[in-house]
Amino acid sequence: MKTITLEEIYADPHVLEPLLAGDQPVEIMQKGRAVATLRPSIKPNGKYVPKPMPKIDFKARFLAMHGPDAFKSTRTTADIFDALRREPPLNRENRE
């Protein structure tokens, strides 16, 4: 196991690059005690290949929820928001 002090890393962070390039773990020391261990990443061996995630068809989901006329609105988004802004806010007095 290779060892490096935290102070050396603070002084020159590029000192870590050759140590991490090897296949051995690197132990980081501070004031004489180990504070972290950096282990090499596990390389895939080719036996396990993750399945690709299926693509989600958001338009089909939206149509299934809201019906076939969901995208055939005659109102623009600006009109809808203008109408919502004109409505009075819900206060405790307006709730019933």
Residue 95 has pLDDT above 70, yes or no: no
DSSP assignment string, 15-78: GHHHHHHSSS-EEEEETTEEEEEE-PPPPP-SS--PPPPPPP-HHHHHHHHH-TTTT--SS-HH
pTM, two decimals, is 0.43
Write down the mean pLDDT value for the chain.
85
Q: Which domains are assigned to the chain?
A: 2-38 (3.40.1620)
Residue 84 has pLDDT above 80, yes or no: yes
Q: Which band of pLDDT confidence, cut at 50, 70 and 90, is reported for residue 41? A: confident
